Amino acid sequence: MQSTLLKLFLITSTTLLFACSTQVKHVIVNPELSTVSNNAFQQKQAQISFTDLRRTNHIVQILRANEAAELYSPQKPLIDIIKTSLSAGFKTSGLQLQPLAASKIEVVVDNALISVQQDLVKYTASNEITLRVIAKNGRKTLTKTFKISGKSNGPFSADIAVLERDFNQQLAKLLTQVTQNKELHAFIN
């Protein structure tokens, strides 16, 4: 009797656990930076590193009352996507990325999330992407925060393709701001 009750309890617990778990889906993150070869860094060298301080991997969460969140993560780790895009953008601006260079640039991802509140006949989405760039040149340090945010709403359900497109556009705009920042150029030069 006790063995049957234990089995029934385990089966019920497992079923409830799987029913409450959220399946993570993927979105394509591919920001297209609008960079122009401008030699702003005058062929200077710098080390570059990337850190993701977000607590979760997903970049889109759709929240509905009394339901598990619907989560969407990038197809590759976001930090890898940002590393590839920013490295290319810096190179286009004339910065030579070298592992032993005296100047150092650290890019920290503090936030990257679109949060959608889905109601029965409408949705409201708010998004925010925050990057911190810490440049070190000898004993001097420059810290700049780059942030972009927005809100949108509409009837019916949020379209994941539209959210994906908006995220890519905003990320591209933010990364372009980093690579074209005159204060960062002056500090490295």
For residue 87, give the amino acid letter.
S
By DSSP bridging, strand 122-137 and strand 140-155 are antiparallel
Compute φ and ψ for 29, nearest 5 degrees: -110, 115
Spatial separation of the C-alpha atoms in residues 75 and 25, rounded to whole Å: 9
What are the beta bridge partners of residue 69? none
Concatenate the DSSP letters of all residues of 3-39 into one string.
Answer: HHHHHHHHHHHHHHHHHH---EEEE------------
**Token pair 């890898």 is at which residue?**
80
Q: What are the structure tokens assigned to 171, written together? A: 């990320």
Q: What are the structure tokens assigned to 184, written together? A: 């960062």
pLDDT tens profile 11-67: 544 444 444 445 669 999 999 887 667 777 878 999 999 999 999 999 999 999 999
Contact (CB, 8 A) for 135 and 104: yes
Contact (CB, 8 A) for 19 and 12: no
pLDDT tens profile 135-166: 999 899 999 999 999 999 989 999 999 999 99
pLDDT tens profile 65-112: 999 999 999 999 999 999 999 999 999 988 999 998 999 999 999 999
Contact (CB, 8 A) for 89 and 31: no
Residue 121: the pLDDT is 92
Residue 39: the pLDDT is 77
Contact (CB, 8 A) for 162 and 149: no
Q: Does the pLDDT at position 9 exceed 80?
A: no
**Token pair 């399946």 is at which residue?**
23
For residue 91, give the amino acid letter.
K
* pTM of the complete model: 0.83
Residue 62 burial (C-beta neighbours within 10 Å; 0-12, 13-18, 19+): buried
Which domains does the chain possess? 23-188 (3.40.50.10610)
Residue of 172, 174, 39, 33 whose CA lies nearest to 93 = 39
Residue 1: the pLDDT is 58
